[in-house]
Structure 1
Amino acid sequence: MSRPAAFGPTDALFDDLDLDELRRRPGVKWERVDPDVLPAWVADMDFAVPPVVADAIEHTVRRGDLGYPSWQDGSPLRTAFADRMHERYGWTVSADAVREHTDLLQALQFVLHLATNPGDAVAVQTPNYPPFLATLETMGRRGVSSPWTRTTGGWTPDIAGLADAVVAHDCRVLLLVNPHNPTGRVLTRDELTEIAAIARRHDLLVFSDEIHAELTYEPHRHIPFASLHEDAAARTVTLTSATKSFNLAGLRCAVAHYGSEQLLALRDAQPPDLYGTVSTLGVAGTLAAWRHGAEWQDRLLRVLDRNRRRVAEALASFTGDDRCPMPEATYLYWFEADVLGVGDKPVDEVLARARVLLDGGAGFGPDGQRYLRLNFATSAPLLEEILTRLASLARR
């Protein structure tokens, strides 16, 4: 495919993707679609692994370092996380309060199992990440929805509504996703401070999923929830990973910072391997990304910023207005299905009529039924083809 005229400068590292090679990948994104379908659904980037990560993993394998790791005091990720939080956000944390998990979902399920009981209510701002919502249902926790509000200025959290929901349903936990998936909103310090006040008044345990923090676009700034003040830190489990910001989902490696000493002690009292552990390769890849991946990530952010602007331009051309605001973070674009003129099953209809697989619908919560989520972390030519196919629906 040639470079689309609608795009700005391209970057060969990210834009020279071979479609046939992508279709040969065994991962879920490309393996589950027919040969004529372009997938833009699951939150995997199409880009190659950062060279520094590939080199670190290869070096680990070639030197035969696949025996049992000598991590008596925990993996090096604990110190690496503490260093990264201080360098990027000015948040000083103790590495002693950091623990490894296979991924954020596993960490959430683990702590829910320890800290809550079936029937307990968990407040969650919707729309939201479908596996989180499915986890609450499967574990018998009552998910209490606090819908975001769509305004002329973009997506806005209904913080007063969140407070009302916490009281009405006697919530014990708040599941906070910031930057938000799927809307891409980055909560401001004022908004986070209001949410922290709710958590304090009602003694909520806060799960803060911050996995998309490093994919935040200027002029927006990510603020770790636990960095607000001492009370916020003491009631928060902060979850993050290098997997989204460096495209390493298959490494199954994440970390959690436990602000509550009591919860950390309860966690450490469990059998050490009952809930899984991280691999040597996952740790090696994450360390390489965090310590040596800055140049790759800077280039990635420029490409993603360009792509989100192109999607915004295309959606505005479909509607004649700006009702589909750009995400402030992530590589996921949340927009109204009505923009494409599709019916009650928008994902199925876009797939059938345009041969593009998006995500969206009721899996994101009761207020997600008429919305679609487009993953724009792909090359300029592939994204342009996706938008061209969607434009054919909008014109109809």
Structure 2
Amino acid sequence: MGQPKNPLEVLSLDQLRARKSAKWRAFGDEALPLWVAEMDTPLAEPVAAALHEAIELGDTGYPSSGPYIRAFCDFAKQHWGWTVSPSQVRPVRDVMSGAVEALKLVGEIADTVIVSSPVYPPFFKYPVSAGRRVVEAPLGPDGRLDFEMLEESFNLRTTGGQAAYLLANPHNPTGVAHTREELEKLAGLAADYGIRVVADEIHAPLVYSEARFTPYLSVDPRGYAIHAASKAWNLAGLKAGLMVAGEEAVDELENLPPEVPHGPTHLGVVAQTAAFTSGQPWLESLLTGLDANRKLLGELLAKHAPEVKYTAPEATYLAWLDFSAYGFTDDEPTPGVETPVLGPAKHLLKKAGVALTPGHPFGSGGEAHARLNFATSQSILTEAVERIGQSLR
């Protein structure tokens, strides 16, 4: 059987506007929503078949996660050459709640969590909700890990207790796929300063051909990694995630609260098991389409908004756009707007009818930036960038 059709070119704009998910409801029927990390695709056929079978059977009870764990371990071995034992893995509700549970295993209330900004906004919110304080060790000017900054932050960890480092691997929003050499250097620094690392690896299956995903735990047996099929197969509404402990951290899993492994939904487990088991052809077709879109985005920006700085990501379907040449400054949230839009994103929503994710919540380095989700059809992407260009002129 050949490769499935590019899933980004299956659904029409009218079909997408019929969706009731946050992406398509938050900004009304006129805006083109290229903001939250949700793709404009139908479900992969094996995933849809598994869900249909469950519904037809009335199979909507409590989750049984054993097949899910085995499917992930098999996928990791086949896709990344990474051998993971099921004894290292525990189900969690989703990636961010799993990351918080890992942070609890390696630290205490009031400890510090270090993040490399600009970074996924929940990296700031979730640890704080768990009683930690978050400090930034910003990325370098090239959007990659700044090891001088990291060492400085690790060295200062003793103020207010111990510290952990929360890593995005690949990085959201810059789309950097950290190299093995970078991760080995990070692991060495962490060992030198007694820092434990928790890696959010939800975008791991979404890496393009010029780069390679390196599992963090393949260089650090003391760390934790959190995985899910939700980003790569568009399953964010079907909650299920997996916490993976490094080989030297497995004993700590005994301290995981007993309710944590019961967090995933049954249909989330069913869907993500099918994705890891049978979703590879669909994923390959998706990556071909995303690769074409990230290149098209560069061409469109060069034509319609040439002063927007854009580096094609090595991973993810997210583009980190720098609008600083246009003189934008971040301002206060608009009163009465449920999802605040700051800086260039506010301008583009108002003047172009294009919804991007504002850069401000990503922390230092997010000023005058916005994040664009290019996991859509080429016609929608083209219209969106044309609108952006017109509004900037």
TM-score, with length taken from structure 1: 0.89
Once residues 363 and 162 of structure 1 are traced to their aligned partners in structure 2, the CA distance between those partners, rounded to angstroms, is 21
Give the counterpart of 1:308 among 274, 280, 294. 294
1:219 aligns with 2:213: no
Matched position secondary structure for 2:43:
coil
User: In the superposition, relative to structure 1, how do residues 20 and 318 fare at CA in structure 2: closer, same or farther (>3 Å)?
Assistant: closer
Alpha-carbon contact 1:340-1:390 (below 8 Å) kept: no
Which digits, 9 at most, give the CA deviation of each residue in 1:191-210, with x for residues without a partner?
11110101111122211111
TM-score, with length taken from structure 2: 0.90
User: In the superposition, relative to structure 1, how do residues 148 and 347 fare at CA in structure 2: closer, same or farther (>3 Å)?
Assistant: same
1:58-77 mapped onto 2 (5 Å cutoff): 58-68=52-62, 71=64, 74-77=65-68
Alpha-carbon contact 2:305-2:388 (below 8 Å) kept: no
Matched position secondary structure for 1:56:
helix
Aligned to 1:4: none
Q: What's the offset of the Cα at 1:68?
A: 4.2
1:109 aligns with 2:113: no
Aligned to 1:167: 155
Once residues 18 and 25 of structure 2 are traced to their aligned partners in structure 1, the CA distance between those partners, rounded to angstroms, is 8
Give the counterpart of 1:256 among 219, 234, 243. 243
Aligned to 1:6: none
Aligned to 1:359: 357
User: In the superposition, relative to structure 1, how do residues 11 and 87 fare at CA in structure 2: closer, same or farther (>3 Å)?
Assistant: closer
Give the counterpart of 1:122 among 94, 113, 126. 113
Q: What's the offset of the Cα at 1:54?
A: 0.6
1:86-101 mapped onto 2 (5 Å cutoff): 86-101=77-92
1:22 aligns with 2:16: yes
1:242 aligns with 2:236: no
Alpha-carbon contact 1:319-1:339 (below 8 Å) kept: no
Structure 2: which amino acid aligns with 1:254?
Answer: G
Q: What's the offset of the Cα at 1:178?
A: 0.8
Matched position secondary structure for 2:313:
coil
Once residues 98 and 10 of structure 2 are traced to their aligned partners in structure 1, the CA distance between those partners, rounded to angstroms, is 36
Alpha-carbon contact 2:38-2:236 (below 8 Å) kept: yes
Matched position secondary structure for 1:207:
strand
1:291 aligns with 2:272: no
Structure 1: which amino acid aligns with 2:250?
Answer: E
Alpha-carbon contact 2:307-2:323 (below 8 Å) kept: no
Kindly tell me the number of residue pairs found equivalent between the two proteins.
373
Range with greater deviation from structure 2 (176-185 or 139-148): 139-148
Aligned to 2:28: 34
Matched position secondary structure for 2:141:
strand
Structure 1 residue ranges without an equivalent (≥5): 1-9
Alpha-carbon contact 1:144-1:169 (below 8 Å) kept: no
Alpha-carbon contact 1:343-1:349 (below 8 Å) kept: no
Range with greater deviation from structure 2 (255-264 or 189-198): 255-264
User: In the superposition, relative to structure 1, how do residues 339 and 105 fare at CA in structure 2: closer, same or farther (>3 Å)?
Assistant: same
1:47 aligns with 2:41: yes
RMSD of aligned Cα (Å): 2.0
Once residues 215 and 308 of structure 2 are traced to their aligned partners in structure 1, the CA distance between those partners, rounded to angstroms, is 30
Aligned to 1:266: 255
Alpha-carbon contact 1:75-1:283 (below 8 Å) kept: no
Identity %: 36
Structure 1: which amino acid aligns with 2:215?
Answer: P
Structure 2: which amino acid aligns with 1:38?
Answer: L
Once residues 308 and 12 of structure 1 are traced to their aligned partners in structure 2, the CA distance between those partners, rounded to angstroms, is 14
Matched position secondary structure for 1:76:
helix
Which digits, 9 at most, give the CA deviation of each residue in 1:355-383, with x for residues without a partner?
11100222101221221100000011111
Matched position secondary structure for 2:371:
strand
Matched position secondary structure for 1:367:
coil
Matched position secondary structure for 1:334:
strand
Give the counterpart of 1:346 among 344, 347, 350. 344
Alpha-carbon contact 1:341-1:393 (below 8 Å) kept: no
Q: What's the offset of the Cα at 1:53?
A: 0.4
Once residues 12 and 217 of structure 1 are traced to their aligned partners in structure 2, the CA distance between those partners, rounded to angstroms, is 16
Which digits, 9 at most, give the CA deviation of each residue in 1:119-167, with x for residues without a partner?
211111111110121113333322121111224xxx2221121111111
Range with greater deviation from structure 2 (55-64 or 112-121): 112-121
Once residues 307 and 212 of structure 1 are traced to their aligned partners in structure 2, the CA distance between those partners, rounded to angstroms, is 17
Q: What's the offset of the Cα at 1:282?
A: 1.3
Q: What's the offset of the Cα at 1:82?
A: 1.6
Give the counterpart of 2:391 among 382, 387, 393. 393
Aligned to 2:188: 197
Structure 1: which amino acid aligns with 2:238?
Answer: L
Structure 1: which amino acid aligns with 2:255?
Answer: L
